[in-house]
Amino acid sequence: MKSLVVQLWLWLIKGWFIINNKELFLQIEPKVTMKPNSKIKLKDVASAFSEDKGFQIRIEDLHVGEVGNYDKNQVISLISLIKKIKEIDRDVNITVFGSPEILINITNDKKEISILKFLKIGVISLLLFFGAAIAIINFHDDVNMEDSLEDINYIVTGEREISPLYLKVPYSLGLGVGMVTFFNRLLRKKNKNEPSPLELEMHSYKKNIDDYILDITKHNKKGN
């Protein structure tokens, strides 16, 4: 009889522990953008889920930090978020998905003057245009493309002709069309979800920049 009572008490204690033990799931964002002098809430840097909706709302509105009044980047560690959550409920079980650090990108809402913006775009476009043109000219000069076209013309027609325009013009047009097709600018409606090689390079470049900023910011934070 005594052992039955003990087992019953153990069962009740175990059931109470299971009922009162909360589960919290966090999906951490690797990078967020915020304004200077703003408060950082947990919902700004992570997505939270709990079966206890009241507890979930409290966690989402939890104050986890502040943004400075300067245009520098900040880093929030996952450990600091867990400490803040444990201050509310030390018995909660936390399951985390995502990055162990969060990069806070601080940006102002200062709008650039339209004239200056268009001037920058114009100057950069001219530099890219002439730079690409010079690169293509030097490439064709190195491989002696003019003689190659003359040899092709001789093989096909059996006659020697200097600078055959009926080969040069289609070749020039095909060069432009080929570049546009390579960068996926002609068939974008057909393949909406397929990124172009340029977009892939830009994505890789931005990811490398974010990783570099994260490492530098963490190093400076430890140094201070």
d(CA 195, CA 193): 6
What is the structure's pLDDT at 25? 92
What is the structure's pLDDT at 203? 86
d(CA 141, CA 220): 50
What is the structure's pLDDT at 6? 46
Mean pLDDT (10-residue bins), the chain, 224 residues: 51 48 85 85 90 88 83 82 88 87 79 78 91 88 83 81 80 82 62 72 86 76 58
What is the structure's pLDDT at 186? 60
What is the structure's pLDDT at 184? 64
What is the structure's pLDDT at 2? 47
Q: Which residues pair with 74 in a beta bridge?
A: 104
Q: What is the domain partition of the chain in residue ranges?
A: 2-106, 183-224
The CATH number of 2-106, from 2.60.40.420, 2.60.480.10, 3.20.20.140, 1.10.510.10, is 2.60.480.10
User: What tokens does 196 get?
Assistant: 């172009």
Nearest to 70 by CA among 16, 108, 116, 22: 108
Claim: this prediction has a pTM higher than 0.85: no
What is the structure's pLDDT at 154? 82
What is the structure's pLDDT at 139? 87
What is the structure's pLDDT at 123? 93
